[in-house]
Amino acid sequence: MNISEKNINSYTILSLQGILNASSAPQLKTYIAGLPDAQSIVVDLENVEFLDSSGLGALVGIARRKKTSNAVIKLARMNERVKKVFEITQAYTLFDIYDDVSAAAEA
């Protein structure tokens, strides 16, 4: 999985590309652990080809950690495959989900 980073406003935008599953979830966790705890982030999911429960677990874990340090994690540009996983698991109840990266980085 590729992670690319850019900054918009006060947000760090992480664009993921590839497969987010048990083997790549630790990579995302370490990457985010490298950022300051209080840094709010937007995760751009448009190019995530596959997401399983471990990948989702990583995102949920990050959301929990950000919440305790009063930072925010937002998700943006979910494709249909990713959306399906969020829908069946009802994980959408935990995240602010945007269809546009710049809108997510504004509020």
- Under 8 Å between Cβ of 101 and 44: yes
- DSSP for residue 55: H
Nearer to another protein, 70 or 88 (CB): 88
Residue with tokens 């751009």: 44
CB 26 to another protein: min, Å: 12
Structure tokens at 93: 């109840």
CA-to-CA separations, 37 to 34, 50, 65, in angstroms, rounded: 9, 27, 8
CB 99 to another protein: min, Å: 4
- DSSP for residue 107: -
CB 36 to another protein: min, Å: 23
Nearer to another protein, 36 or 95 (CB): 95
Nearer to another protein, 5 or 52 (CB): 52
Binding-site ranges for another protein (CB under 8 A): 52-54, 56-57, 60-61, 64, 83, 85-94, 96-100, 102-104, 106-107
